[in-house]
Amino acid sequence: MNSDQALEILTNLLQVTVFVAGPLLVASLFAGIVVGIVQAATQINEASISFVVKAGVVLGMLVAVGPTLASRAVEYARDNLESLAHVVR
């Protein structure tokens, strides 16, 4: 295994990480911003409201796009495990 192969594996790892975690984090960010604006407008300062809304949004995103995210992660793991024989040589 040379440095180019190691760099390619690391690059693919970071791409898959962004692909899997990105939609969940972005959805949580937008939910937090919306709840923050609503709380500021209504002067309701309850932290649990924000938590429950963000948890619900992340759960909804997992239901909606979870299979796609999981298949991408499994595909990455499968590719790395199949190339393990070439890496060990």
Split at pLDDT 50, 70, 90, the class of 31 is: very high
**Predicted pLDDT of residue 66:** 94
Residue of 58, 78, 75 whose CA lies nearest to 66: 58
Q: CB count, 10 Å around CB of 65?
A: 14
Run of H or E including 62: helix 47-82
Residue partners of 24: CB distance under 8 A and separation at least 6:
58, 61, 62
Domain count, the chain: 1
- The string of pLDDT tens digits covering residues 75-86 is 999 998 988 877
Q: Which range of residues forms the domain containing residue 44?
A: 3-88
Q: Under a CB-based contact definition with an 8 Å cutoff, are residues 39 and 49 in contact? A: yes
- The string of pLDDT tens digits covering residues 38-73 is 999 999 888 899 999 999 999 999 999 999 999 999
Indicate the pTM of the whole model.
0.80
